[in-house]
Amino acid sequence: MRLKESEIMEQLEREIDRYAPLKIKSIEQKTLSQDISPDIFAGTFIEFCIADGPCFKAMVEVKTVATPKIISKTTQQLATILSRIDDKNIVPLLIVPYMGTQQSKMLSERAFHG
């Protein structure tokens, strides 16, 4: 059975200890203005911290499947949105339940994190 996007996020929050020393500091839903993204009206931003270390903020997109078409479209959307946001320190992060080798290579080539 396929997980819903909300279930994937809940699982990440619940099981963040699996990704130690990474910790979630905050999760925030922000409304995006039309000039930033005419197609996507809200974005999820997560602030991650390394235990006893630095923090960073990511704009997160959750997908229930990771086909090459979905990965390509999503990375293009994230890149476009992030290029229009004032804070240039936000990194794109794509979360999927499983990703094949082809899709993983696609993300690496585009300097995305999945």
- Each residue's pLDDT expressed in tens, for the chain with a length of 114 residues: 889 999 999 999 999 999 999 999 999 988 776 665 656 567 899 999 998 899 999 999 999 999 999 988 888 888 888 888 888 889 989 899 888 898 888 888 876 655
- pLDDT number for residue 21: 93
- pLDDT number for residue 62: 93
**DSSP reduced 3-state for 7:** helix
In percent, how much of the chain has pLDDT > 90?
44
- pLDDT number for residue 34: 62
34 part of a folded domain = yes
Structural domain tally of the chain?
A: 1
97 part of a folded domain = yes
Range of the domain at 55: 5-109
88 part of a folded domain = yes
114 part of a folded domain = no
Distances (CA, A) of 56 to 18, 31, 69, 104: 18, 20, 28, 22
Count CB atoms within 10 A of the CB of residue 13: 11
Phi, psi values for residue 2, rounded to 5°: -75, 135
18 part of a folded domain = yes
CATH code at 38?
3.40.1350
